[in-house]
Amino acid sequence: MLRKIKLSLGAALVAAAQLAAADVAEVKVSNVTLSVANGGWWYYLPVEVDWQPQSAGTSVGLQNPSFLDGTTAWHGRATGSSVMDGASMAMASMTARTSGNHLEGVTAQAKVDVSGGQAGWAFAKVIDNQILVAAGSTITVSLKLDSFLANGAMSQANAYIELCSTDFTTDTCLPANYAEAVVFGDMMYGGPATLTASWTSPAEANTWAKFRIGLTASADSFATPVPEPAAAALWLTGLLGVGAIARRRRPH
């Protein structure tokens, strides 16, 4: 009987350690670059103009209880959002560009770290805009994956680049001319450290393309909340008491 009590106590301690472990999802990128080759060798990326809405931003949230925070910004500008609930947090941020290019040098991050039944998400919208590309030109977008992980059964992270033909009115993608680069996972990432997508404008005319870069992270710690230290001490004392009673009842 005593051996069974010891095994039960050991299992309880392992379970408590598992409950205390946080669920984490994180994706972090740097060295966002945009280049052009071939054709007319030029592109035009609108920035801070009256006829374009702010096309970047961050948004984060925790669900139990609910906390929300969000920002909007012009692409290439610094912005950030964060929320906290005890040991749980969700954050997303972007730094400002470091050169004349509207995206060159931008870094971005989305991270969620939750425990005790909390769940959360984070989104960094680096850009969601249109770009005018010279006829026959190829634009290439790349970024470096500095961190990409998802620790926990309900944790996920992803980063994506999307380029596609569009018209300036509907702002939707045309499937005939579409390119993307996506990394999506629910574990430690072991793939390429650089994410790259290339898109070529039709040769007959200068063309508007839809241009998106985004990061998302989410995690759900669905376990029962970890007991407070005093409650945990009483719980363990009770288990030890059961063990003492079992010893006294053993025949001699």
| pLDDT tier at 188, thresholds 50, 70, 90 | low
Domain span at 225 = 23-244
Task: Please check the confidence at residue 197 and state whether its pLDDT lies above 80.
Answer: yes
In a domain? residue 13: no
Q: Which of 66-75, 139-148, 161-170, 234-243 has the lowest mean pLDDT?
A: 234-243
In whole angstroms, what is the distance from residue 87 CA to residue 68 CA? 16
Q: Please check whether residue 197 lies inside any domain of the structure.
A: yes
Q: Residue 123: inside a domain, yes or no?
A: yes
Question: How would you write 9-47 as a 3-class SS string?
Answer: HHHHHHHHHHHHCCEEEEEEEEEEEEEEECCCCCEECCC
Overall average pLDDT of the 230-236 stretch: 42
pTM of the predicted structure, to 2 decimals: 0.78
CA–CA dist 244, 205 (Å, integer): 86
- Count the domains in the chain: 1
What was the pLDDT predicted at 104?
84
CA dihedral 143, 146, 148, 149 (to 10 degrees): 180
